[in-house]
Amino acid sequence: MQATIDAPMTDLLPRRERVRYAILFVVAAVWNFAGAIPGFFDSSGMFAREFGRELRDPVMEIVYRGAWGTALLYGVGFLMVARDPVRHTGIVLMGGLGKAFFALHLAYMFAKGWTSSFALVVIAGDALFVALFVAYFLNVRRRGHAVV
């Protein structure tokens, strides 16, 4: 009994699923890092690519950089999930909701003509991850594990 308590929660999933989730969440982390690293370290350049105009307001630049800092933290969180996908469902919930809200807001801004077509890549990528995260939650729940 003690060995079961001390075992990682990932052991509750078949090996094939653990590998599949490890790949999913490493890819999700890389996706976040691909935007967050240039967005955090070159906020003006990323803003210009995303919105097709210069970022001139220093307050807005700090706010924008902060948003990319959040995306960077989500990426670190997804790496934690890759290691133990059953234990860290809360990280997936927060990251998935962040992706869903960001994609919705960016789609709204695109529809208003406020972003460049580069935003479509971000919207599509985040929407895909949201769908994959929903499938992950359904599977984890189907196996009898708490989602949060």
Q: Do the domain assignments include residue 5? A: no
Say if residues 101 and 26 touch (Cβ distance below 8 Å): no
pLDDT reading at 10 higher than 60: no
Which tokens go with 37?
């690293």
Which tokens go with 51?
């919105």
Look up the domain containing 74 and give its range. 15-142
Q: Do the domain assignments include residue 90? A: yes
Q: Do the domain assignments include residue 114? A: yes
Domain count, the chain: 1
Q: Do the domain assignments include residue 31? A: yes
Residues near 143 by Cβ (< 8 Å), separated by ≥ 6? Answer: 12, 13
Q: Do the domain assignments include residue 127? A: yes
Task: Determine the angle formed by the axes of helices 58-83 and 43-51, rounding to 10 degrees.
Answer: 90
pTM value? 0.85
d(C-alpha 29, C-alpha 88), whole Å:
14
Given pLDDT bands bounded at 50, 70 and 90, which one contains residue 83?
very high
Which tokens go with 29?
């982390």
DSSP 9: G
Mean pLDDT of the chain: 90
Residues near 15 by Cβ (< 8 Å), separated by ≥ 6? Answer: none
Q: Do the domain assignments include residue 4? A: no
pLDDT reading at 57 higher than 50: yes
Q: Do the domain assignments include residue 147? A: no
